Structure 1
Amino acid sequence: MIILDPIAVSDPGVFVSSNVPEDDTAPTQILTRVYAAGDAVMDPATHTKFESKLGVRAVAAISIGSPGVVTWAAHGLVAGTPVSFTSTGLLPTGFLPDVVYYLVAPATNTFQLSATLGGAAINTSGSQSGVHSAAAGQNFGRALSDKTYWLPVGATNRWKMFDAYNNTQTERADSIVIEIDPKAIAQGVYLGNVDAAEIIVTSTDPTAGVVYRQVTSMQTSSSGSSFYRWLFGRRRRRSYFLTLDLPLYYNTRVKIEIKNPGGIARCGMCNIGPIEDIGFSQYGLGTDIKDYSTTRFNFDGTSETTERGFSKRMTLDVVLDNDMIDYVQEWLAARRQKSLVYIGAVEFGSTVLCGKFSSFKNVIEGFTNSKMALQIEGVV
Structure 2
Amino acid sequence: MKVIAPMSVTDSEVTSTNIAATVHPVWDAGTTYAANDQVYMTGLSGKAYRTVFESQLGSNLGNDPSADDGTNWIEIGATDRFKPFDRKIADTVSKATSITYQITPSSLVTGIAFFGLDAESVRVQIYDAGLTEVFDETHDLVDDTEIVDWFEYFTWDGIYDSEALFTGVPGYSGHRIDITISAPTGTASVGQIVLGRVHNLGTTLDGTGIGSEDFSTKERDTFGNAILIEKPFADTVDFQFSFPTRDARRIKRVLDGIRATPSVYFANDDMTEFGTTVFGFFQNYSVPLGHGGTSFATLEIEGLV
Q: TM-score scaled to structure 2, two decimals?
A: 0.89
Amino acid at match of 2:34: Y
Given residue 195 of structure 1, which amino acid in structure 2 is its aligned partner? D
The AA in structure 2 aligned to 1:348 is T
Q: Does 1:138 align with 2:135?
A: no
Q: CA deviation at 1:198?
A: 1.4
- Partner in structure 1 of residue 302 of structure 2: 377
Which residue, out of 229, 244, 260, partners 2:167? 244
Residue identity opposite 1:379 in structure 2: L
Residues 222 and 233 in structure 1, CA contact (< 8 A), matched pair in contact too: no
For residues 137-161 of structure 1, what are the alpha-carbon distances to aligned partners after superposition, in whole Å with 9 as ceiling and x for unaligned?
3313433223331011222222111
2:104–2:173 contact (8 Å) kept in structure 1: no
Match of 1:132 in 2: none
Question: Separation in 2 of the partners of 1:142 and 1:314?
Answer: 42
**Secondary structure at 1:274's aligned position in 2?**
strand
Change (3 A) 1:330 1:306: same
Structure 1 residue 189: deviation in Å? 0.7
When residues 170 and 40 of structure 1 are mapped into structure 2, their CA distance, relative to the original with a 3 A threshold, is farther
Query: 1:49 and 2:48 equivalent?
Result: no
Q: Does 1:302 align with 2:225?
A: yes
Whichever of the two has the greater Rg, that structure is 1
Does residue 1:368 correspond to 2:289, yes or no?
A: no
Q: How many residues align?
A: 295
Match of 1:124 in 2: none
Distance in 1 between residues matched to 2:8 and 2:227, nearest whole Å: 40
**Which residue matches 1:152?**
75
| 1:95-106 correspondence to structure 2 within 5 Å | none
Question: Does the 8 Å CA contact 1:6/1:273 hold for their aligned counterparts?
Answer: yes
Structure 2 vs 1, CA of residues 248 and 26 (structure 1 numbering), >3 Å: closer, same or farther? closer
Q: CA deviation at 1:311?
A: 1.0
1:297-322 CA-partner distances (Å, limit 9, x unpaired): 32223344333222111112110011
2:16 is the counterpart of 1:17: yes
Within 2, Cα distance between the matches of 1:24 and 1:167?
22
The answer to whether the 8 Å contact 1:312/1:378 transfers is yes
SS in 1 for 2:114: strand
Residue 331 (structure 1) shift: 1.9
Structure of greater relative contact order (alpha carbons < 8 Å, 6+ residues apart): 2
Distance 2:83 2:173 in 1: 26
Change (3 A) 1:6 1:34: closer
CA RMSD of aligned residues (A): 2.1
Q: CA separation of 1:48/1:249 partners in 2, compared to 1, >3 Å: closer, same or farther?
A: closer
Contact 1:293 1:308 in 2 (8 A): yes
SS of 2:246's equivalent in the other structure is helix
Q: Determine the C-alpha separation between the residues in 2 that align with 1:249 and 1:152.
A: 34
Return the match for 1:347 from 250, 262, 271: 271
Q: In 2, are the aligned partners of 1:24 and 1:42 still within 8 Å (CA)?
A: no
Deviations 1:125-184 (A, max 9, x none): xxxxxxxxxxxx331343322333101122222211100211111122221111111123
Looking at structure 2, the residues matched to 188 and 360 of structure 1 have their Cα atoms a distance apart, in angstroms, of 23
Q: 1-side partners of 2:184 and 2:39: how far apart? A: 29
Letter in 2 for 1:138: S
Report what 1:202 is aligned to.
125
Counterpart residue type for residue 221 of structure 1? D
| Conserved? CA contact 2:171–2:177, under 8 Å | no
**In 2: Cα distance, 1:297 partner to 1:225 partner:** 40
- CA 288–24 in structure 1, closer or farther in 2 if over 3 Å, else same: farther
Give the Cα–Cα distance (whole angstroms) in 1 for the partners of residues 241 and 61 of structure 2: 55
SS at match of 1:189: strand
C-alpha separation between the residues in 2 aligned to 1:328 and 1:195? Answer: 34
Paired position in structure 2 for 1:35: 34
- Which residues of structure 1 form unaligned runs of 5+? 55-136
Which amino acid in structure 1 is aligned with residue 288 of structure 2? V
Deviations 1:319-350 (A, max 9, x none): 00111011111221222111110002442341
Residues 1-60 of structure 1 deviation map (CA, whole Å, 9 limit, x = unaligned): 0111111112x6322222111226566576444312xx1413063522222222xxxxxx
1:319 corresponds to: 242
Task: Give the superposition deviation at 1:357.
Answer: 1.2
Instruction: Compute the displacement of 1:265 (Å).
Output: 1.2
Say if 1:250 and 1:140 are closer, same or farther in 2 by CA, change over 3 A.
closer
Q: Counterpart of 1:328 in 2: which secondary structure?
A: helix
Shift of 1:373: 1.1
Structure 1 CA distance for aligned equivalents of residues 242 and 147 of structure 2: 31
Q: Which residue of 1 aligns with 2:8?
A: 8
Partner AA of 1:52 in structure 2: S
Which whole-Å CA distance do the structure 1 matches of 2:172 and 2:38 have between them?
Answer: 40
- Counterpart code for 2:201: I
Contact 1:198 1:259 in 2 (8 A): yes
